[in-house]
Amino acid sequence: MIAPVASWNNYPRQVCTLHRPERYREFSPDVESAIARGLGRSYGDAALNDCGHVFLSERLNRISVFDPERGVLRAEAGVSLDDLLRVIVPRGWFLPVTPGTRFVSLGGAVASDVHGKNHHCDGSFGNYVNSIQLAIPGAGTIDCSPTANPETFWATVGGMGLTGFIGEVELHLRPISSAYVQARHYAATNLEELFRHFSDPDRDAPYTVAWIDCLSAGKRLGRGVLMAGHHAALDELPVEARAKPYDLPAGRALSVPVNLPAWVLNPTCVSLFNGAYFAAQARKRAPFIADYRSFFYPLDNISHWNRMYGTRGFVQYQCVIPQAGAFDAMRKLLERIASSRHASFLAVLKRMGPAGNGMLSFPMPGYTLALDLSLRDPDLFKLLDALDELVIQHGGRVYLAKDARLSAASFRRMYPRYEEWLTVKNKLDPQHRITSSLARRLDIGGAA
Ligand SMILES: Cc1cc2nc3c(=O)[nH]c(=O)nc-3n(C[C@H](O)[C@H](O)[C@H](O)COP(=O)(O)OP(=O)(O)OC[C@H]3O[C@@H](n4cnc5c(N)ncnc54)[C@H](O)[C@@H]3O)c2cc1C
């Protein structure tokens, strides 16, 4: 089927030939130019192939092995993290790393080497993958792991689907005593205080993330709320929940029914929202119990929330800055954004731990900032180009899974292991038949 396709942020929208294979062997056909696509939750063109072929993994969603004694699971790449959680949580296991939405595929989580609120403690998704089955058009299927074909493995983890089609993935899980998290919020009146919270051992927790009001400026620049939590032990649950610690309360589903007009997200509305949100979250000073869905996936409770940005869509700018210059760089980034009056109602700051082995993986030790920005502002890309320069000067990088507009030159300066990755790519796919719009825009692996 030939159709216009976009990913979560609705930009860009490109015409692709879509295939929906039922079996893994059909996932690796003999075509000139193809990319795999999971649940399309990346922001940008990583899962698009303008005028080329796109292979949807959604029907390759079988769980082949789950060992509840050891917490080891093997499943096809198209299974969603939501489906996995429904199977593993009632049996006392959780994902070792999870992004801020559970509606991503297992293959997408590997290809982006996703990180979660626990990156500062546990690293990224690839650290927990035991092995991957990889199909390369015209070259068959290979198995790889940190010990078997390790170069292929670490080029695939974080490789944005450009080394081949991921089939089955085996990973090891995290044991939990309940489906709940004990959470605690710490309000900060500005960026300095927020950084102090992040580095205060008394406020540290296995999971931490901060929401930032990126429209506040001056003395309140970077005001926000650090949200910390850990998987709740049985004795931390309310007495009535202890008998069935893995049962979840029935959720309320909200939805944004249609694309909203662009003016809804103007700076005044967002400023009002931010003020109210800050007050509400800052009020939660005492520890409280939250079910895992509302702690890890607050936005999943509002289906189609991406429609708030209207038909033109939005971009997410996510960068990471190494520890040493992180405060200084974040201050400058927030000053630029606040003074431009580009309203972002979703801005998140997070501490990151050691980098993994993925050659094109995003994380590095330091701080990452992520902002959603509406495409209603015509000069937005100029601002983001200037932010790229600042990020590069501080030794940081932009996240490819969230990117729709970075230049090839900036990509090269941000990803120093690119040449190493390219050597592996050239061996696996010398004709560069596996390609995407992102790959062509950033000149990753050459064009098909
Ligand atoms: C609300 C929200 C919150 C998010 N929070 C986080 C976060 O906290 N941390 C984080 O790291 N990311 C986060 N993300 C980004 C998201 O986790 C990644 O973009 C993830 O890769 C999306 O998975 P997907 O299945 O939707 O993949 P897609 O968007 O379909 O594809 C993403 C990439 O994976 C590749 N891919 C997918 N399936 C396969 C396969 N079977 N074989 C080979 N390659 C494949 C594609 O080619 C593409 O390059 C968030 C996204 C949203 C919408």
Q: Note the pLDDT tens digit of each residue in 27-60.
A: 766 788 999 999 999 999 999 999 999 999 999 9
- How far are the Cα atoms of 228, 284, 337 from residue 351, in angstroms, in the given order? 12, 21, 20
Residue whose token pair is 């995407």? 436
Which atom of ligand 1 is nearest the CA belonging to 77?
41
Which range is least confidently modeled, 135-149, 263-277, 422-436?
Answer: 263-277
Q: How far apart are the C-alpha atoms of 50 and 52, rounded to whole Å? A: 5
- pLDDT in the model for residue 31: 82
Q: How far apart are the C-alpha atoms of 315 and 306, rounded to whole Å? A: 11
In CATH terms, the fold of domain 180-406 is Alpha-Beta Plaits (3.30.70)
- 18-33 mean pLDDT: 84
Averaged pLDDT of the chain: 92
Q: How far apart are the C-alpha atoms of 242 and 249, rounded to whole Å? A: 13
Domain regions of the chain by residue span: 63-176, 180-406
- 308-320 mean pLDDT: 90
Residue 261 has pLDDT above 70, yes or no: no
Q: Per-residue b/e over 149-184, b at no fewer than 16 CB within 10 Å?
A: bebbbbbbbbbbbbbbbbbbbbbebbebebbbbbbb
- pLDDT in the model for residue 34: 94
Q: How far apart are the C-alpha atoms of 302 and 297, rounded to whole Å? A: 10
CA of 182 to the centre of ligand 1 (A): 27
Determine the Cα angle at 266 with ends 263 and 268, to 5°. Answer: 130
Residue of 7, 33, 60, 104 with the most ligand 1 atoms within 8 Å of its CB, for mutation = 104
Which is more confidently placed, 141 or 446? 141
Q: How far apart are the C-alpha atoms of 347 and 116, rounded to whole Å? A: 15
Architecture field, domain 63-176:
2-Layer Sandwich (3.30)
CA of 104 to the centre of ligand 1 (A): 6
Is the separation of the CB atoms in 36 and 161 below 8 Å? Answer: yes
Residue whose token pair is 């995003």? 362
CA of 373 to the centre of ligand 1 (A): 19
- 360-379 mean pLDDT: 92
CA of 42 to the centre of ligand 1 (A): 5
